[in-house]
Amino acid sequence: MNLSVFTVPGIPEIVAGDDLSLIIGDALGELHTGDIVAVTSKIVSKAEGRTVVAADREDAITAESVRVVATRGNTRIVENRLGMVLAAAGVDSSNTPDGTVLLLPIDPDASARALCTYLRDRFQVDVGVIITDTLGRPWREGQTDVAIGAAGILVMDDLRGSVDAGGRRLDVTVAASADEIAGAADLVKGKASGMPVAVVRGLGHLVTSLDAPGAASIVRPADQDMFRLGSNEAWAEGYQAGLGVDRS
């Protein structure tokens, strides 16, 4: 398998109301069948007018949160309205004018689907699209990009039932392919390069129909989450539950 990942120059500063699909299409020039276009969520949010005035970033985080998972010092890990568990609800104050913050797209999967539909129609090839954002990971230092929106690709590569190189059956392996692609794209896009779009070429076997599940399907359901609360929050919840127990 040959894999290449490269940035797409020529993307201007995006503002509310810009036709992002047209701008990205013009910058791409061409696409090959099986290409996957990775787009930084920041420019999607800007085009969709998700920049809001917020003198206090903490207020914006609260407004975007539906549940506090854990707190430590000034850091809040929360579940946001998209069901994602992350620091600061995805509210971003970098690369935005003073006194404003940038919220995540309202529906990243829908945004990815609209862009993917446009690119397929324009270039007459089957391609995929992911919208990426930067997250930390439990039990790991540092951050990496993951897919928060996706269209036209298999976001999970289910290898269960296949065999490994030694002929052993794989029973639990489900690769998070959309997140792996997002991480690869981030290696060339960077955080401050002014290159918010990249193309990943060589993974055409992951490109599929537009009605495939999007990135929202990657979020683990609450009933399968073994670490739904931080340690302090879990203790407090257990303590409160214990107060209601009849110990007679």
CATH code for the domain of 58: 3.90.1660.10
69 occurs within a structural domain: yes
If one compares 40 and 248, the residue with the highest pLDDT of the two is 40
Highest averaged pLDDT of the listed ranges 12-26, 83-97, 230-244: 12-26
248 occurs within a structural domain: no
Q: Give me the residue label for tokens 């579940």.
A: 79
Highest averaged pLDDT of the listed ranges 33-47, 135-149, 219-233: 33-47
If one compares 98 and 136, the residue with the highest pLDDT of the two is 136
51, β-bridge pairs: 102
Residue 247 has pLDDT above 50, yes or no: no
One domain for residues 158 and 196: yes
Name the percent of the chain lying above pLDDT 90. 67
Please give the residue range of the domain that contains residue 92: 51-103
Please compute the mean of the pLDDT values over residues 142-151 and round it to a whole number.
96
CA distances from 197 to 4, 41, 102, 208 (A): 14, 10, 18, 21
Please compute the mean of the pLDDT values over residues 133-148 and round it to a whole number.
92
- In 39-176, where does DSSP find H-type helix? 41-47, 57-64, 108-123
Highest averaged pLDDT of the listed ranges 89-93, 131-135, 171-175: 131-135
pLDDT score recorded for residue 192: 66
pLDDT score recorded for residue 237: 85
pLDDT score recorded for residue 210: 97
151 touches 129 (CB < 8 A): yes
One domain for residues 24 and 98: no
Please compute the mean of the pLDDT values over residues 162-191 and round it to a whole number.
85
One domain for residues 36 and 149: yes
| H or E element in which residue 130 lies | strand 128-137
CATH code for the domain of 201: 3.30.1330.100
pLDDT tier at 248 (50, 70, 90 boundaries)? very low
Q: What are phi and psi for residue 53, nearest 5 degrees?
A: -70, 130
234 occurs within a structural domain: no
For residue 105, give the amino acid letter: P
DSSP classification of residue 190: T
Q: Considering the chain, what is the average pLDDT of its residues?
A: 91
pLDDT score recorded for residue 175: 83
One domain for residues 99 and 145: no
pLDDT tens-digit profile of 220-229?
Answer: 988 888 888 8
One domain for residues 194 and 80: no
Residue 138 has pLDDT above 50, yes or no: yes
Q: What are phi and psi for residue 33, nearest 5 degrees?
A: -55, 130
Name the percent of the chain lying above pLDDT 70. 96
pLDDT score recorded for residue 245: 59
pLDDT score recorded for residue 246: 55
Query: Which residues are CB-neighbours of 189 under 8 A, at least 6 positions away?
Result: 7, 38, 40, 145, 195, 196, 197, 198
196 touches 43 (CB < 8 A): yes
pLDDT score recorded for residue 164: 75
